[in-house]
Amino acid sequence: MIKLVDLHKSFNNLKVLDGINLEINKGEIIVIIGRSGGGKSVLLKHIIGLIRPDAGHVFIDDIDITRLKEKDIYKIRRRFGMLFQDAALFDSMTVGQNIAFPLAEHTDLSKREIAEIVAGKLADVGLSGIEDKYPSELSGGMKKRVGLARAIALDPEIILFDEPTTGLDPIMTAAIDELILGIQRRLNLTCVVISHDIQSTFKIANKIAMLYEGKITETGDPESFRNSENPIVQGFLQGIPEDKIISS
């Protein structure tokens, strides 16, 4: 369903992606792991066309979005939802208006119908009745859940999660993991999750890919990942600093 082919991207001489190849199938949860600042967010933004690569291709169902014009990319994006690292809620709008926003922009639904959907999506993420609060009044975990409600407002096929559990306490982390699993099963979504949280990763992933030095060094199911002989993978899983892996 999603296929990345030999993706390259640099920012002012800083090589961030250096030949990414990755295939993501329909209905699976793939977790991409890697160190902070390693280019995970940049990789995710390529999938949805927010960043254009210097070279390489991004195929969404055989359409190469790197070749599309801005307007045509917008059509493809309607099939996506994205949860940003800090939720990226519009802070000039209430929670209800945030979730209603994509519906009001892209559908002809009446105000009443939209309000019903908003209430339903909030219930989906376990936050019924907070429509009139502003994002600044919410905790980090609540913001992420509202961000998720907004991401699923238009019933997308694919959801991208940028570090959904970073910065949350263990209980909220577990709650978000459950939420991702629940929503994925119920709506049969394809999920691309970025994480450096190893526990969450093994809990939700069908497939794991590790990003290292701008390349995918390893992909596989969680079991094969745990047993991987790749020192970089083992180093990351066990939390060994990088310089020690290289020297050993």
Partner 1 sequence: MRRFLFTIGHKTLSAINQMGDMTIMLISAFSWAFIPPMRIRNIFKQMEFIGVKSIFIVILTGLFTGGVLALQSYYAFRKFGGESLLGATVALSMTRELGPVLTALMVTGRAGSAIAAELGTMRVTEQIDALAVMAINPVKYLVVPRIIAGILVVPILTVIDDFVGIVGGYIVGVWLLKINPGIFMAKMIEMVELSDIFNGLFKSVCFGLLLTLIGCYKGYHTRGGAEGVGRATTEAVVVSSVSILVGDYILTSLLF
Ligand X SMILES: Nc1ncnc2c1ncn2[C@@H]1O[C@H](COP(=O)(O)OP(=O)(O)O)[C@@H](O)[C@H]1O
Residues contributing to the site for Mg ion (CB under 5 A) = 41
Is the distance from CB of 168 to CB of 141 less than 8 angstroms? yes
Of the pair 54, 178, the CB lying nearest ligand X is at: 54
Of the pair 41, 201, the CB lying nearest Mg ion is at: 41
Distance separating alpha carbons of residues 34 and 12, to the nearest angstrom: 22
Q: Which of residues 106-165 bind partner 1 (CB under 8 A)?
A: 106
Is the distance from CB of 94 to CB of 58 less than 8 angstroms? no
Q: What six digits make up the tokens of 95?
A: 């929670």
DSSP 191: E
Query: One-letter amino acid identity for 157?
Result: E
Q: In what order do the strands lie in the sheet with 63-64?
A: 14-24, 2-11, 55-60, 63-64
Task: Compose the 36-75 pattern: x for residues touching partner 1 by CB under 8 A, - for all others.
Answer: ---------x--x-x-------------------x---xx
Q: What six digits make up the tokens of 113?
A: 């119908």
| 179 φ/ψ sector (left φ>0, alpha ψ -120 to 50, else beta) | alpha
Of the pair 36, 136, the CB lying nearest ligand X is at: 36
Distance separating alpha carbons of residues 236 and 241, to the nearest angstrom: 8
Q: Which of 13, 36, 110, 136 binds ligand X (CB under 6 A)?
A: 36
Least separation, in Å, of the C-beta of 143 and Mg ion? 16
Residues in the chain: 248
Closest CB to Mg ion: residue number: 41
Binds 75: which of ligand X, Mg ion, partner 1, none (CB < 5-8 Å by kind): partner 1
Binds 164: which of ligand X, partner 1, Mg ion, none (CB < 5-8 Å by kind): none
Q: Which of residues 37-56 bind ligand X (CB under 6 A)?
A: 37-42
Least separation, in Å, of the C-beta of 162 and Mg ion? 6
Task: Give the footprint of ligand X on this chain (CB under 6 A).
Answer: 11, 14, 16, 34, 36-42
